[in-house]
Amino acid sequence: MSAARDEPRFLVDRMLGTLTRYLRFMGYDTESAHSIRPGNAREDTILLKRAEQEGRILLTRDRELARRGGDRAILVTGAGVIDQVGQLAGRGVIEPELRMTRCSLCNEPLRAASAAQIRGSAYAPEKRDDLVFLWCRPCRRLYWAGTHARNIGKRLSEEFGKE
């Protein structure tokens, strides 16, 4: 896999929580407006400023915010997450492939889980032979390439697969 130098990074508004998780499952560095306290009247301005400072593409369902963001913003129009992913893939912004390199909850890059972390997790599957386990340190959360990830991967390859 090539280095992350040309990878787009995203900042996503509150309306697009599912898209945020999908982008993280696809390995994209994706921050959410949820990190801003709700009810802040200046939220739009904060988002625009942060996108610019951090070199992130702002994804929003808000037409006015997209307009203010200019080149740095994309108005996301799809009704469901697959349409939204399709819109970004269609514009060549992302490669819709499951990579499981980031925590879908907090955006932290995942690292290989230790045997103790796997053992210590109440919800790790019993049959582990051909599973790859990953660990999010801030969330203390175990991930594995199992059912949930496979379903998302399958959905993406059905929709966007190149075969």
Which residues here bind Zn ion, judged by CB under 5 A? 103, 105-106, 108, 136, 139
In the complex, minimum distance from the CB of residue 20 to Zn ion, in angstroms, rounded to a whole number: 13
In the complex, minimum distance from the CB of residue 154 to Zn ion, in angstroms, rounded to a whole number: 23
Please say which residue, 89 or 118, places its beta carbon nearer to Zn ion.
Answer: 118
Please say which residue, 43 or 108, places its beta carbon nearer to Zn ion.
Answer: 108
Taking the C-alpha atoms of residue 72 and residue 59, their distance in angstroms, rounded to an integer, is: 9
Please say which residue, 13 or 135, places its beta carbon nearer to Zn ion.
Answer: 135
In the complex, minimum distance from the CB of residue 102 to Zn ion, in angstroms, rounded to a whole number: 8
What are the backbone angles phi and psi of residue 16, rounded to the nearest 5°? -120, 45
Q: 140 in the Ramachandran plot: left (φ > 0), alpha (ψ -120 to 50) or beta?
A: left
| Tokens linked to 124 | 């790790």
Please say which residue, 57 or 103, places its beta carbon nearer to Zn ion.
Answer: 103
In the complex, minimum distance from the CB of residue 32 to Zn ion, in angstroms, rounded to a whole number: 12
Taking the C-alpha atoms of residue 54 and residue 109, their distance in angstroms, rounded to an integer, is: 17
Element (H, E) at 133: strand 133-136
